[in-house]
Chain A
Amino acid sequence: MDATIHHISKPHPVTGVTNSKLGTWLFLASEVMLFGSLFSAYVLIRTGSPSWPHGWTLLNVPLATLNTLILITSSVTMVMAWASLALKDLGKYRLYMGSTVLLGLGFLVVKSFEYGSKFAHHHYPATDTFYATYFTLTGLHGLHVIGGIVLNTYLLFPGSALWKKEPDQFLGRVEAAGLYWHFVDLVWIFLFPVLYLL
């Protein structure tokens, strides 16, 4: 009997997408709602507060700007990794994917400096609602960065074995991981001005 699942590597003739592409976008839709609820919380708490400090008075804007540039660059290296694979250049793929992983780790290093400095000055999530929203929003984002780094590392090393057997399916996986990583960048693109610049 034919028990094979269709449209894993070849797109569906009507919808035009593979299963993993549709599944990934659906997952990202749910993530939009997750971060949406946290932004909604931020709006409600801030508009309900009698006063709210400007982000630049309490947070490190230069460090966060650096982090923004790091994340944007990592998005470029990520999409270049996919493009290299589409051009069948495994070596370039590894280079770009490796850069993406390193940049992601760099983001986390900068973040840990930020957090460390806050803790050293006795600013914790419990301090007030400003810090509560700052730590929670950036913390959840940071967890998503970690998840992306783990995924990308997998695709860089053990996962890349699939390239030899099923190149189209592996390309699809890299594209899916790319979508996720760009989304993480996208969230930061909003988090950065909202928390630090307003």
Chain B
Amino acid sequence: MSQTNGHSHPHGAAGHDSHELPFWRKYIFSVDHKVIGIQYAVTGLLFLFFGFCLMMLMRWQLAYPGQPLPVPFLANLFNETQMISGIMLPEFYNQLGAMHGTIMIFLGVVPLAVGGFGNFVVPLQIGAPDMAFPKLNMMSYWLYFIGGILMLASFFVPGGTAQSGWTSYPPLSVIASSGQTWWLVGMAFLINSSLLGSINFITTIVQLRAPGLSFFRLPFFVWAQFVTSFLLLLAFPPLMGAAVLQLMDRLAHTSFFLPTGLVVNGAPIAGYSGGGNPLLWQHLFWFLAHPEVYVLILPAMGIVAEVIANNTRKPLYGYKALIYSVVFLGFMSFIVWAHHMYLTGMGTGMSAFFQVTTMIISIPSVIILTTMILSLWGGAIRFTVPMLFALAFLPMFGIGGLTGLPLGLNASDIHLHDTYYVIGHFHYVVAPGTIFALFAGVYYWFPKATGRQMVGWLGKLHFWPSLIFINGVFMPMFIQGMAGVQRRLYDPMQYAHAQPTQVLNVVMSVSAWLLGLAQIPFIVNFFYSIFWGRKADQNPWQATTLEWTAPSPPPHGNFTSEPVVYRGPYEYASPDSKSDFWPQAMKEKN
């Protein structure tokens, strides 16, 4: 076992004098992974809430096009470039759309899933005192915070915020108003935050595992975060490159993305040389953005795996298959990106190649989902609140994944591309998919983070309406998509073929608003339980992984003495132990 540096000088990391730190260094500019994880999680949840509000506004326009907002108080929040007499302007609808996507993905889900859960749980699950680079960790959070502020501030610049989709396709994004520049700069901060974080995660998982914790004894959650970090490390830089190029186009009037002979509003565009290619942006953007969707799902799969093993009281089925699948999935995710570009005219050869890789990538995905479903067989299932969300994840992700198939196949995608079918597909994976898994994670690890339990019946009151209404929002989208209703339209009913589906818009919007109401029990539960929840002991779920051997909440440095690991992560119902679980770090029989 390698030696530590035996002296008292703290390497800017887990110092021995945390009780002497002033408030602002202990809770605000902290280098402790648990504090940073909570910072990420809370900020992420706030952004999720904000992004949800943007969507609720959009859904008013879709359900009741051209109608003023029913609540005058709401209408007064907006100026005349956004709404006139409470009636939404198309430009504002586009801003809401672009920023809903941007905020949910980059400011909400990933910071919560990776920055929040990853930071808090991974060092604990590997038996480490903190991340490998605590100061870098802190910097990652504050870069994210600044990026978020820039994104929010962009709403207030002349011309409004970014409005060319979260995908920012040129030439439109190049000629768009200044809000787009704020988006690009904000993204630069977020990308750098992610990069530093991924370096930290990979180094931590490789270098700081406790004695006895080999790679094939790691909880699947750690493997999922490990692969996710490689995706972030290698896929984000091309988007950074693309952002630099788009900034050059916007600010220095280069023509990386502007083709020769571009005509805007009837006149040739002035001040640009031309010679560029809009597809260049699409290639570089999707080179990131496809792995990004696996960044969105992998931590969620990790959480579901943990919760299922714990609440079936038996080992996960196919642990090795899960690991090989997630590694293969991560690798394949880099070479499927152009399935987002089937309709760009890039050629049948390219389309055929990417169709093949896209079909191949569904295999590990299906293996992962199947092993999780099979893990339920023969289990003594405890229907705790985390388990409810984890169970719901399975069919919801199944629907999301299956509806991806006609999109991944070039021929059917011709009909479905840029319709509501696409929106339905990806929301199923990320909303009742990932976000449900994240809720499972909150309910599951809340006792570890706070030392208190959340209220069970409030959790069920959160779960059931959410499940019903979230399907109410997204299921009809498949019908709309197959009917040819296009996405990103302020008024999709301007087309006659879409009009028979308008009633579905009302159904979806009402479901969305009710879904919003259904989150109130969660918000109440969360804040109530922090202060007055029933005290939780060290291992309230009788779980096997290392984080449950630390106190709740863990102190600075996490473990009173470094854990030693003797077995795999899911030794439930082991014939060698008396009780139905055998913790990884417990030498003697349980």
Contact = CB atoms under 8 A, between A and B. Distances in A.
Direct A–B contact present (CB less than 8 angstroms): yes
Interface of A: 1-13, 15, 17, 19, 22-23, 26-27, 29-31, 33-38, 40-41, 44-45, 48-49, 124-129, 132-133, 135-136, 140, 165-166, 169
Given A30-B237, A41-B241, A23 B275 contact: no
Which of B3, B207, B242 has the largest number of chain A CB atoms within 10 A?
B207
B18 to A, nearest CB: 8
Closest 9 CB pairs between A and B? A3-B557, A3-B14, A37-B241, A37-B238, A132-B254, A34-B237, A33-B237, A126-B253, A129-B275
B233 A132 contact: no
19 contacts: A3-B15, A6-B207, A7-B132, A19-B207, A26-B199, A30-B198, A30-B233, A34-B238, A37-B238, A37-B284, A40-B284, A44-B279, A44-B280, A45-B277, A125-B254, A128-B273, A129-B275, A136-B248, A165-B9
Interface stretch (B73-81, B82-90, B363-371, B558-566): B558-566
B284 A49 contact: no
A11 B203 CA distance: 12
Contact of A30 (B4, B132, B234, B273): B234
A38 B243 CA distance: 11
Interface residues of B, number: 62
Contacts of A38: 241, 244-245
B520 interface: no
A34 B240 contact: yes
A22 B241 contact: no
B254 A126 contact: yes
A30 B236 contact: yes
Given A13-B1, A125-B253, A41 B245 contact: yes
Given A12-B2, A30-B234, A41-B256, A5 B273 contact: no
Interface string B174-202: 00000000000000000000010011101
Given A3-B14, A33-B238, A37-B241, A48 B555 contact: no
Given A5-B128, A44-B280, 19 more contacts: A3-B14, A4-B5, A5-B4, A6-B4, A10-B3, A11-B2, A22-B206, A26-B203, A27-B199, A30-B198, A33-B235, A40-B284, A41-B241, A41-B242, A45-B280, A126-B253, A128-B275, A136-B244, A136-B248
Contacts of B245: 38, 41, 136
Interface in B340-376: none
B271 interface: yes
B11 interface: yes
A3 B554 CA distance: 12
Contacts of B540: none
A124 B244 CA distance: 16
A34 B273 contact: no
B284 A6 contact: no
A10 B556 CA distance: 23
Interface in B217-270: 233-238, 240-242, 244-245, 248, 252-256
Contacts of A140: 244
Contact of A19 (B5, B198, B203, B276): B203
Given A19-B207, A33-B238, A45-B256, A3 B2 contact: no
B555 A1 contact: yes
B130 A3 contact: yes
B275 A1 contact: no
Contacts of A23: 132-133, 199-200, 203
Contacts of B2: 6-7, 10-13
B11 A26 contact: no
B13 interface: yes
Contact of A1 (B3, B276, B561): B561
B330 interface: no
B16 interface: yes
B256 A5 contact: no
A2 B16 CA distance: 9
Nearest to B562: A2
Interface string B1-41: 11111000101011110000000000000000000000000
B277 to A, nearest CB: 6
B234 A5 contact: no
A1 B127 CA distance: 13
Contact of B256 (A13, A22, A26, A132): A132
B252 A124 contact: yes
Nearest to B259: A48
A165 B129 CA distance: 23
B237 A31 contact: yes
A126 B200 CA distance: 39
Q: Which of B128, B130, B248, B284 is most buried by chain A, counting CB atoms within 10 A of its CB?
A: B248
A7 B275 contact: no
Contacts of A4: 4-5, 11, 13-14, 129
B561 to A, nearest CB: 7
Given A5-B11, A140-B244, A12 B207 contact: yes
A166 B241 contact: no
Nearest to B287: A37
Interface in B468-524: none
Contacts of A8: 5, 11
Nearest to A17: B207
B557 A15 contact: no
Interface string B437-456: 00000000000000000000
Contacts of B235: 33
B283 interface: yes
Contacts of B277: 44-45, 48
Contacts of A27: 195, 199
B444 to A, nearest CB: 25
B4 to A, nearest CB: 5
A125 B252 CA distance: 7
Of residues B5, B128, B129, B271, which shows the largest number of chain A Cβ atoms within 10 Å of its Cβ? Answer: B5
A114 B133 CA distance: 40
B293 interface: no
A61 to B, nearest CB: 23
